[in-house]
């Protein structure tokens, strides 16, 4: 699609794409950071609000509890109520006994004072005789009306010590405002006389729970422990109670804050528990509200970004126009290169433009290429000479094989079969070592090579050396890298058996099963020192890092095949599935194990 698009257009598209992506990344990061900070700030403020309003709400309930308790335990109230327990007349007892009514009212006034705005106090006997202290003039209640008040009947019939009624319409019919009640039984250890109903209007709660966060309303939902809605502010989600109770874990004395969806909108919810009154308090903030400022700012940024991008594109267009002409001229010069002589007839103008100056440098580059071409030919000649020398060097192993064969035949003629056996073993080792056509061999081939090496070492140490091979026949066909066993056996003589007391013993054990295979080389020497094992394992880790970084050389070399080189070649060959482990035998000798775990 872009094949026929001009260079200038491609450059503009590239610049606009890069700049647009940079602006998009910047705005995205800015938005995420601002949202995160604003969310954290809003959560902290909401937690503080929750602590404050829960304390204020608890203060209202504490005051209602204090007054109701004071009335319930008052001996004056109990004495006045005791006088009417036997009376079950249809009329209100206190209409005809004003002294008892006055005694009860004096107790209430003593506990509450003379402040009765938006509150009332009602003492009701078991027979629904009524004494009230309030500012609602002209309201009279008969026993039948009182018996229809739900929470009064509920407390009396079920002998509930205290009960808080949800916010609802005034069942006494004295106020148009909604009210809530704190009802407590008036009783002693012998007898129940009635109830004290301390009733406050909803305005007390509205003053506490009407608040804002960053200029936006905070909704409040209060739920009783029996999952009955006690109170909610206007604007709170209508169906919020059930998901709030189900999803918000509330612990006593602490605030829990979380995000949740209610009626298709996302809210931050801070919840707490008023343990003394079995109330759960939830404060909700609509995330759309507190994120509005961030969204508005981001919109401004987007508009500014688009404007700046358009301006930058105009600048880029002007710059690329000035650059494009000399670049096109350079392209034409390149197309006129004479590859036979590596020369070109340059047509450049005298200017300070950097791209045009690059065209001037082009001719000098061609001259350097001509010199480099001559040097390359010389290097190629030296490479061919080195190749011929390498071919000549390959003749030397054949010469060594022939000489060893002659020495072996002479030993046989002189009745010295040991010499022939030594020459035969050395010939096989030399042949195995100089064969560079294979980098991997079977375990059988590797065992034959290490056997030849040990046989020669036995001739050297005579009766001081004993070696055995205990190999599972199934292991002999396993493919492994070349030269991994002989360096391990050689390590026994160079380190573990050095300065050890003869006789020397080397055992090579190999086993295989469905989980993998392993082959171990053990000796009865001095073994590895703790420092040596630590150093070798550190070097193994160095090899691992070099392999992971592509710095380890896996070129096959006959010299320098120590344990480190062997470990590196095993790891490269098996991609880490073959392991080389170092330890000491119970008798103190060294043990080196090559193992492989199957898939």
User: Which of 261, 237, 233 has the alpha carbon at shortest distance from 247?
Assistant: 261
Which has the higher per-residue pLDDT, 367 or 164? 164
d(CA 292, CA 497): 81
The 3-state DSSP class for residue 332 equals helix
Which pLDDT band, with edges at 50, 70 and 90, does 278 fall under? Answer: confident
Backbone angles phi, psi at 191, to 5 degrees: -155, 150
Q: Read off the pLDDT of residues 561-598 as tens digits, 9 standing for 90 and up.
A: 478 888 888 888 888 889 999 999 998 899 999 999 87
Residue with more model confidence, 402 or 416:
416
Instruction: Report how far residue 259's alpha carbon sits from residue 265's, in angstroms, rounded to the nearest whole number.
Output: 11
Residue 391 has pLDDT above 50, yes or no: no
Model pLDDT, residue 304: 79
Q: For residues 464 and 503, is the Cβ–Cβ distance under 8 A? A: yes
Give the per-residue pLDDT at 182.
Answer: 94
- d(CA 486, CA 215) in angstroms, rounded, equals 83
pLDDT given at position 590:
93
Residue 447 pLDDT grade (very low, low, confident, very high; cuts 50, 70, 90):
very high
State the SS3 of 470-484.
EECHHHHHCEEECCC
What tokens does 283 get? Answer: 């404060």
Helix, strand or coil, per DSSP, at residue 381: helix
Q: Please compute the mean of the pLDDT values over residues 268-276 and round it to a whole number.
A: 86
**Do 481 and 573 touch, CB atoms closer than 8 A?**
yes
With 0-12 / 13-18 / 19 or more C-beta atoms within 10 angstroms meaning exposed / middle / buried, residue 217 is middle
The percent of residues above 90 in pLDDT, for the chain, comes to 20
Structure tokens at 78: 């109990």
Q: What span, in angstroms and rounded, lies between the C-alpha atoms of 22 and 188?
A: 78
Whether the per-residue pLDDT at 511 is higher than 80: the answer is yes
Q: Which of 6-20, 122-136, 239-253, 356-370 has the highest mean pLDDT?
A: 122-136
User: In this predicted model, what pLDDT tens digit does every residue of 525-547 receive, in sequence order?
Assistant: 999 999 989 999 999 898 888 88
Lowest mean pLDDT among 129-133, 254-258, 380-384: 380-384
pLDDT tens, position by position, 280-324 = 888 888 888 767 777 777 787 678 777 887 887 777 677 666 666
Q: Give the confidence band of 40 by pLDDT, cuts at 50, 70, 90.
A: confident
Question: Which pLDDT belongs to residue 286?
Answer: 85
Q: 592 by DSSP, 3-state: which?
A: strand
For residue 266, what is the DSSP state?
Answer: E
What is the torsion angle, in degrees rounded to the nearest 10, for the CA atoms of residue 582, residue 585, residue 590 and residue 595?
A: -40
Work out the pLDDT band at 173, boundaries 50, 70, 90.
Answer: confident
pLDDT tens by residue, 473-492: 999 999 999 889 999 999 99
Residue 40 Ramachandran class (φ > 0 left, ψ -120 to 50 alpha, else beta): alpha
């Amino acid at each position: 699609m872009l094949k026929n698009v001009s260079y200038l257009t491609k450059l503009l598209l590239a610049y606009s794409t890069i700049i647009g992506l940079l602006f998009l990344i910047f705005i995205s990061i800015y938005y995420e950071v601002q949202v995160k900070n604003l969310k954290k700030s809003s959560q902290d403020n909401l937690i503080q609000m929750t602590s404050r309003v829960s304390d204020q709400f608890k203060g209202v309930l504490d005051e209602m509890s204090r007054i109701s308790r004071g009335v319930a335990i008052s001996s004056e109230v109990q004495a006045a109520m005791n006088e009417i327990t036997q009376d079950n007349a249809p009329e209100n007892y206190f209409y005809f006994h004003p002294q008892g009514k006055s005694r009860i009212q004096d107790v209430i006034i003593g506990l509450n004072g003379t402040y009765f705005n938006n509150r009332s106090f009602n003492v009701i006997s078991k027979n629904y005789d009524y004494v009230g202290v309030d500012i609602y003039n002209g309201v009279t209640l008969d026993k039948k009306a009182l018996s229809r008040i739900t929470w009064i009947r509920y407390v009396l019939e079920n002998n509930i010590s205290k009960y808080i009624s949800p916010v609802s319409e005034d069942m006494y019919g004295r106020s148009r405002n909604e009210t809530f009640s704190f009802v407590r039984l008036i009783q002693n250890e012998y007898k129940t006389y009635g109830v004290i109903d301390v009733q406050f209007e909803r305005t007390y709660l509205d003053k506490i729970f009407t608040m804002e966060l960053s200029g936006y309303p905070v909704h409040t939902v209060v739920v009783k422990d029996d999952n009955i809605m006690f109170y909610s502010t206007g604007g709170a989600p209508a169906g919020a109670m059930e998901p709030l109770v189900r999803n918000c874990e509330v612990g006593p004395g602490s605030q829990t804050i979380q995000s949740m969806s209610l009626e298709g909108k996302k809210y931050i919810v801070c919840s707490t528990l008023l343990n003394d009154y079995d109330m759960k308090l939830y404060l909700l903030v609509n995330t759309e509200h507190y994120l509005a400022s961030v969204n508005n700012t981001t919109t401004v940024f987007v508009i500014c970004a688009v404007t700046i991008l358009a301006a930058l594109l105009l600048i880029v267009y002007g710059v690329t126009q000035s650059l494009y002409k000399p670049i096109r001229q350079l392209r034409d010069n390149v197309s006129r290169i004479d590859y036979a002589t590596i020369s070109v007839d340059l047509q450049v103008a005298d200017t300070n433009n950097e791209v045009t100056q690059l065209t001037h440098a082009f001719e000098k580059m061609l001259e350097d290429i001509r010199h480099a071409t001559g040097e390359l030919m010389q290097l190629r000649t030296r490479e061919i000479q080195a190749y011929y020398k390498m071919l000549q060097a390959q003749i030397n192993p054949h010469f060594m094989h022939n000489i060893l064969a002659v020495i072996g035949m002479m030993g046989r003629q002189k009745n010295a079969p040991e010499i022939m056996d030594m020459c035969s073993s050395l010939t096989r080792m030399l042949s195995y070592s100089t064969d560079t056509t294979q980098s991997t061999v079977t375990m059988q081939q590797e065992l034959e090579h290490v056997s030849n090496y040990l046989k020669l070492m036995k001739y050297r140490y005579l009766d001081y050396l004993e070696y055995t091979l205990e190999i599972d026949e199934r292991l002999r066909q396993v493919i492994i890298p070349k030269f991994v066993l002989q360096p391990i056996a050689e390590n026994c003589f160079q380190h573990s058996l050095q300065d050890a007391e003869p006789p020397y013993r080397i055992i090579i054990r190999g086993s295989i099963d469905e989980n993998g295979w392993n082959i171990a080389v053990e000796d009865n020497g001095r073994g590895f020192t703790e420092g040596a094992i630590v150093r070798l394992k550190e070097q193994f880790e160095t090899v691992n890092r070099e392999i992971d970084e592509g710095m380890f050389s896996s070129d096959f070399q006959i010299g320098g095949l120590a344990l480190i080189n062997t470990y590196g070649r095993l790891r490269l060959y098996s991609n880490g599935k073959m392991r080389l482990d170092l330890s000491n035998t119970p008798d103190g000798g060294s043990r080196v194990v090559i193992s492989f775990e199957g898939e």
